[in-house]
Every structure is written in structure tokens, then in C-alpha cells.
Structure 1
Amino acid sequence: MKTSKALSSTAQSLTKKLSLYFNAIALLIGILVFALSQAGLYWLEDEINKRNLQQTADFAIDRFQQGASSPLTIGPNILAYDSTESLPKQFQQLSQYPMGYNDEITDEIAHDLFFYHASFDFEGDTKPLFLTMEAETVELSSDEWRYINFASLAIMILLYLAFDFAISKLSKRLVQPVNQLSQQLKSAQRETNFSVPEGSALEFTELSNSLNKYRNQNEILIKQEQSFAKYASHELRTPLTVIQGATKLLDKSADPEFQLRQRDRIAKAATDMQHTIEALLSLVKQEQTRENSTSRKLTEKEIKLILEEVSPLAKYKHLKVELKLIAEPEIQPSPPVLRMLLINLLQNAINASDSGVITVEVWESCIKVVDQGRGLNDSEQSKDGHGLGLLIVDALCERYEWQLMLTSGKESGCIAKLAFPNKDETEIS
């Protein structure tokens, strides 16, 4: 049950919970601040009056020492007495308070009266000093306290509303990018890029950019997979068609020479299919580390066998295929993989040429297929423009850490270069 409730929470509900949480905190803080401010005002009012009364004592003592009579009126609110007898009858019990007492009296002796008890020397004797001040005349009235409380409450309410507005805007601003990204993920329109509102936090912008990057990578991988499937289907269907056709032809003629030709066609198609399957399976082998650790020498005989496979197509287009073997390099791909790599490059060169010579150059650090055809256009120079055959070449090159480079010839045509890893390449004209 807890898991289902957690999963059912949405960005909108989280925003409401966050707003409610901070509103509760703001309300509690407001109540505490209001209570503390009221207590502080009461304490400050009493403290000011007590200090005023204590500071008046020196003036009263000086006057009594000069012969002033008791009671002595000081200012509009303070009365000074120099003996117990001079105290009014209702304040006689004030003499019982200890020496140095200075506070507001709120009992039945004297209600709401500030009282200060001290002493002073007069002609060699110690005489008491009593200072009294009516609290009602120096303290704020009930109406004044009411106005202060009303103003304090109004200010607290305004601050609470402002805080609530700020928290609401902030929480929405924090949750809105997540909500927008969620809606975009659910949307059926895949062409629209992920985006967040302007002014969002940097992390949300980086998240949307990462989502766009990953989606683009997925789309590229999907297209590559679809192209790969089409190419593999084509490469496997062609020999199957040859085998099926040759098998049907075997039943139509008893001529031994004719049947021998058909059996040769079947054998060649089966071999081509086997090579294609081995090359394609090499892309998904789990034994990559073991296979990459072994290498073999590329011989002239192996390359000539590959050239013989494309010679019928070259002769049909009146093209000449030449081999320049400068070195016999050490390579890792198996013969079926190398066959698929070179046949794809040679078929592309033949299809792009109407006349001239196609040259296969084998160097210690690379293999080049040079043609004199129509050359490269802008789309063919990008990976998306390689076509199905070169897509397989790209995948195989990545598998063996080779590098495929397509460049235009000096005058015409195209140069397809397979560079080997960990080799110092030499620029060849």
C-alpha cells in the first residue's frame, strides 16, 4: 500500500504538500514572533520606567540634603519621600520592602505603582528614600496596546501572505520543469525536442539537453539497426535466390555440363552465404577479447580471391580492377570479415564508376580502394550517406578498432581508406 501511494504522487501534489508544509512553518513562526514581540514590549516598558525612577534618586537625595521638604515632587509623575512618616497612609507598608527594591507593585498594598527604596546620609544620620510613580501615567493605555497589537497582526499577516506567495512561486518553479519534461515524455509528438521553461535551474536545462542527446542517439541506433536488417536480409536473400533458381534448373536439363554449372552456382552461393553469416555474427560475438588478441598476415592470394568475386560486375561495366601490394600487413579480422569489408568498398566503387580503373592498394598501415568515378557528394561524405553496405563496414571497423575514411580523389573519383589501429600512417600520393 505504501508503494502504490508513493507511485501515485505527482508533481502537482508535491507542490501542494510543499506549500502546505512551509505555510505551517510560517504560521508557527508568526505566532512565536508575535508572542515574543508582545512580551518584549511589556518588559521594555517596565525596564525603562524602573531605570528612570532609579536615575531620579540622585536628584531627590541632593534636594533633600539641601533642605527640601517631603514629599518632593519630581517631574509630573514622581514623588520622593525621606521618611516613613511622610508616606501616605495607604503606602505605609511600602517601608517593609527591602533596601534597593525597584519594581512595579501589583498587590493590594499599591496596585500599578512603580516603587524604589534606597537610603542617603543627612547630617551624620542615614535616612530612607522612597520614590513612587503611578504606572497608569507612564505606561501605554489599553487603546494604545490595542492599536499596537492590531498593527503587529496586520504586519504579520502581510508577511505571511508574502511568504506564502514566494513559496508557492518557488515550489512551482522547481516542480514545473519536471512536470513539463514528464508531459513531453508522455507526448506522442517525438519530433519536438525536450525543453524546460526559461529561467529554470541549470540542472533542469542539462537534464533536457541529456534527454535530447539520448533520444537522438536512440533514433540513430534504431535507423542503423533497421538499415542493418535490410542489408543483412539483402545479402542473405541473394544467395538463397541463386540456390533456389539453380535447384529448379537442375530438374529441367540432364546435360552434365549444365548441371555442373548449376552445382557450381549453388556451391558459390552457399559459400557466399556462409561468409556473410560469419561476418555478421562477428559483430555480436562474446569472444571479442580473445579474437582481438590474435592477428594474421594478409596475403596476396586472399586479396585476389576477393577481387575475383567482383570481376564479373567490373567486366560488365568495362572496368579494370588492379592490385598494388606494397606490404602484407598483420590484421585481426577473419577472412569472411575482410571479404565483406573489401567487397562492399569494391561494389560501391564499381557502382559509382562508368569507366576507368579501380585500384586496391595494400600498405602496412591501411588498405585503399581508389576509383575514377563520380566522386562523393555532400550526403555521401557523412555517415548517414554511406548506404547499407558502408553501414556494415562502419560497424565492422568499430568492432576491430579500424577507421573508415572517405575522401575525394585529386581529379575525380573517391578514395575509401581502411586504416589499421596502432600504426604510423604514411601519406601516399
Structure 2
Amino acid sequence: MKLDNSTSGILIRTYLFGAILLVIFYAVIFYFGTSLTEDNNSMKRLAIVGEHYIIKYKDAEPKSIKINPLLTVYTDYSVLPESLQKNITKDWFGSSTFHIEHLDVEFNVLGKVIRHGEGQRVMYAVEDIDAIELEDEEVIILTATVFGGGVVLLILASAYVINSARRISKPVTELAKKLKDDEDFEPIKVDGKLSDEMLQMEEAMNTYRAKVAHAFDREKSFTRYASHELRTPMMVIKGSASILKKSTDEKVLKQVGLLRESIEEMESLVQTFLFLARDQVESDKVLIDNKLLEGMSDKFNSLKDSNNVDLNITLLEPFELNACHQLFSAALGNLIKNALNCTVGGTVNIFVSKREIKVIDNGVGLSSKPRNDEGFGVGLKIVNDICNKYQWQFSLTNNVNKGCTASVKFREANSC
């Protein structure tokens, strides 16, 4: 059974635990308090009544005088019952309770020193308290009655507390549910009568949501505007490159080729930013097959050659992925580029399946900076943003021996 960790559940458990401990504590206190009070009252009564009769018979000869069915006065130690003589010495005086084990009886005894003739003696007033004390069974029944009454009160109070706890925690639960379910950043309104603290929480939460919404809108607006503004100069540069391509100078043609590659890369980046800025996740599907992956690999031929890297891409089987072609290509492309930049004279192995993409290199790892690190980290940030958009899991870890492994795990509903 799953433990209820809601606010009401915690309040109810805390109350019940404390209340049960309190009922048990008071039942124990009542049990021992009853016995202690009973003994103290009996001893106080004996101190008053017993002393009165001791003084009254102080001149009597050694004998036992039965005052009433409970109280007996013994004028000398020699006339005390043998069972008491075993527990009391001749020179003992004062007051105490004695339990005679073999007779299973209990006596309150008052011993008082009295002048007798030219000397003194100790006289005793002995009260049989078994006749008037509550039996153990009676004490247990009385304690059980008190305990049972406490349990009944506990049940009634628990019903009230449980209802109150649920009523108090209902706004918190409703607020948490709305925060979880609402995809927009509209102000949240919790129904019902709210406490002052809850009103402050609601106001603070709405203020925070408004700030987050404003920040998101500002980021998306900037991305859209910047991307659109970049298109115009890129078109101009692309047109100029087309004109320069007509040149017969090999050096010029080489630079034109590099220029066109940079323009294509910039156009792809702008498109990626535009897709990331969209609110809704596209319902497009991209076919992941060898043709697509080979095309991705060919884009990095110059980087592979310059770093002397052997790039291997393995596709377990073709599949369709619920994602935008542009964003998937951007994610995989940035992973490949990052691995190639981190590896010199090594190997990059890429494994693609319905469940995940794994990019394994034997380069410098995460603790060192790669070559051409001016833009290092930006590509991975784009990968992370794309994964967040589609709720994929992105991770980057060091290998045991050398290099690192980048992993993107798809949602089960994303691939088919």
C-alpha cells in the first residue's frame, strides 16, 4: 500500500501518532496515579486515626486492641503478628506499607514512640488496607474504561481532524494539480476560501508565472526576429557567391566553396532556431534510414579529413521518428560535430536504433577542451533544447578508458 505523502496525509498521520501516544500515556498515568493516590490517602488517614488511638491506649499493658474491622492497635512489639515482626525491627518507628507475600495481604503500619512509666516503648497502629483498596482487576477495568473512553474521543476527534486536514490541504492540492496540468502561463485561480498564506502563495506563483511567460515570449520573439533578419544578408552573400562561382580562378572557387558551406550551415542553424521557437511540437515524421545517415556523414568529410578521424555510423534497422526532420538533423549533426572536434587521429562510432542514439568517441573526453573550441558547448546546448522539446533524454558521460559517450534516448511514443 502506497503511503499518502500529501499535505493532508502527513497532517493526519502526525495527529494520529501524537494522539495515540497521548491516550496511552494518560492511561498509564491513570493506572499508577490511582494506586499511588489510594496508598497516600490510606496513610494520611492512618496517621490521624492511628495516632489518636495510640495516645488513647498508651498506658495499656502489652496487648492487641481491635478498634474496628480495619484498624488494630498493638501496644508493644511483642504482641505484633509474627508476619509483621519479620518485616519490622524493635526500634523501628514511622509509617510504611508492608506487603506480606505468603499471605498476599497488605498493611499500613504506623509506629510511634510513647513514654511508658520511666522509659518508652513503640506502639503500632496497623490497618488492613486490602479490604478497602481496589483489587488489581478493578483497577484494570477502571483503566480500560478510561482508555476506551479516550479511544472513542480519539476516533471522534480524528474524524474531525481528517476532515479539517483535507479541507485545509485542498487548495494546496488544487494548486499543485493546476501547475502540473496547465501548459500555458495564464494566472491560476484556486477555488474556495483560502488562508492568508495560501493567498500570498497564489499571488507569488502568478507573479512568477507572469515573469517566466514574459521571458519565454521575449526569447521566442528574439529568436524569430533574429532568424528572419539574418535571412536577408545571407541571401545577399549567397547571391554574391553564385556570381563568384563563375570565376575560373581555382583559389577563388575554393573560397567560394567554403563560403557556400558556411552559408548552408548558417541557414540550417536559422531554421533550427525557428523550429525551436515554435510553441507546438510538430506532428511530422522523419524516416531514419541509411540514406539519411550517409548524407549526414558526408557533410563532415572535410572535418573528418582535417582531424584524421574514422567515422562509423551503424543503423540497426530503419524506423520512423515523430520529429521534425530539421530538428533531428540538427541534433545528430551537432553530436557528430562535437565528437569530431573532440577527436584527433581516432575513431567515432555512432549507433542508431528505435530507442536511442549513441555517439562514442576516443577523444579528449569531458575534462579537456577540443580543437576549434570557440563554439564548444553551443551545439550541445542546441541538442539539449531539442531533446527538451520532444521530451528525449540527453546525457554526456566520460568513457572508462578514453573519450566520452553522448546519448539521446527517445520516448517510446516517438518512434515506430
Larger radius of gyration: 1
TM-score (norm 1): 0.43
